[in-house]
Structure 1
Amino acid sequence: MLTIYGVYRSRASRNYWLAGELGLPFVSVPIVQARRIDDPQAADAPINTQSPEFLAVNPTGLIPCIDDGGFVMTESLAINLYLARKHGGPLAGQTVTEEAEMLQWTMWAATEVEPHAVKIILALDTRASETEQGRLTIRAAAKALKKCFKRFDQHLAATGHVVGNRFTVADLNVAEVFRYAMSQPELFDAAPNVKAWLDACQSRPAFKAMMATRLTELE
């Protein structure tokens, strides 16, 4: 049985979405980020990323983390590549080349897109966006993302998918990174293929189910 450690309001959302796409049964252990708790060490604190019982599973103290029949793994995007490869089907790479392309685009999203998109999310979550410095941070991040959006828009022009001509784990991984930039509609307006692709990804039943559960959690 697959166990996913992490609340839905975290990068664990990526793993919950994929589990839904693959139809995998799983156990969810809602580990909360310690930064969201006033005193994560308090006796009545919910289990969190600093709790000894979680650190026994993942000493890095980061979510998400999975335990797949005794195999423990971290890093949300890598977890998804592993689960898709293990369980196969149309979401997985069908050739070595497709697997390489899935890894390439996943790494691109993680290294070129996510660092800037996360700055936007953090500025909004902490209400720093209400300050001049926060607005400057968002503006700079959005400017840096324009190049990424342009490149990805051109890539999607041919088939509307990240790899091949179908929805795969690569679409899911990249879509979850681009979701962080959704508060900046001008980026999507300038990249209509990206906008249409993300809308299609988020129209999938498994994504909607994941988001419905996510919205039940406290912010």
Structure 2
Amino acid sequence: MLTIYGVYRSRASRNYWMAGELGLSFASVPVLQARRVDDPTAADAPLNTQSPDFLSVNPTGLIPCVDDGGFVMTESLAINLYLARKHGGPLSGQTLTEEAEMLQWTMWAATEVEPHAVKIVLTMDAKAAESEQGRLAIRGAVKALKKSFRRLDQHLAASGHVVGGRFTVADLNLAEVFRYAMSQPQLFDEAPHVKAWLAASQARPAFKAMMAARLAEPE
């Protein structure tokens, strides 16, 4: 059975969503980020990314990771590509070209979009958005993201999907990255195809189930 290590309020959300889309049975092992624990190394500390029990599974000390029948893998976006390839179906690449496109778009989102989108999330989480430094950080991130939003918007205009004219792992991976920018509605207003695509992705039952579990967790 697939085991997913990580809380829903982390990048593990991507893997929980993917498992839901594929209809996979899985075990969930909640592993908190160490930064959220007062003393992550204390004997009575909840299982976290510095806990010896978790480090014995994933020595990098990062969530998420998965154990799929003894095969341990890290990196949330890569995990989803692996699960799609393993289990097949419409979410996976049906040709070598589609698989290459899914990998290309996923890497693009990870390198060109996520660093700026995460900066927005971290600034908002730190409640620094009202400070001058916070406003400048968000303004810079939004400016950097506009090019990527334009590129994806033009691409989605053809079919409303990233690869193959249907919902695939590429849509899921990118939707989870672009979700980080949702506090900045102007980006989506200027990219209507991206706005509609993200709304459609988040209307899927598996996303709603994942998000319900995420919201049920303590902040």
TM norm structure 1: 0.99
Local SS of the residue matching 1:72: strand
Cα distance in 2, alignment partners of residues 193 and 129 from structure 1: 27
CA distance in 2, matches of 1:129, 1:34: 24
Cα distance in 2 for partners of 1:127, 1:42 equals 28
Query: SS of 1:10's equivalent?
Result: coil
Q: How does 1:46-65 map to 2 (within 5 A)?
A: 46-65=46-65
- Match runs of 1:1-219 below 5 Å: 1-219=1-219
**How far apart, CA to CA, are the structure 2 residues paired with 1:131 and 1:65?**
35
Q: CA deviation at 1:41?
A: 1.1
Residue 78 of structure 2 aligns with an amino acid whose one-letter code is A
d(CA) in 1 for partners of 2:70 and 2:128? 41
The number of residue pairs the alignment matches comes to: 219
Displacement of 1:43:
2.1
Shift in Å, 1:130 = 2.7
Q: Which moved more, 1:41-50 or 1:185-194?
A: 41-50
- Aligned-pair identity in percent equals 83
1:124 Cα deviation from its structure 2 partner = 0.6
Q: Describe the superposition over 1:111-131 as per-residue Cα deviations: whole angstroms up to 9, x where unpaired.
A: 000000000000011112132
C-alpha distance in 2 between matches for 1:175 and 1:107: 13
Secondary structure at the aligned position of 1:117 is classed as: helix
Superposed displacement of residue 40, structure 1: 0.7
**Ranges in structure 2 where 5+ consecutive residues have no aligned partner:** none
CA distance in 2, matches of 1:6, 1:67: 12
Report deviation, 1:132.
1.0
TM-score (norm 2): 0.99
Query: 1:213 deviation in Å?
Result: 0.3
Q: After alignment, is 200-209 or 128-137 more displaced?
A: 128-137
Please tell me the residue identity of whatever aligns with 1:112.
E
Distance in 1, Cα, partners of 2:148 & 2:165: 21
Per the alignment, in what secondary structure is the counterpart of residue 163 of structure 2?
coil
CA–CA separation in structure 1 for the residues paired with 2:44 and 2:195: 44
Identify unmatched segments of 5+ residues in structure 1.
Answer: none
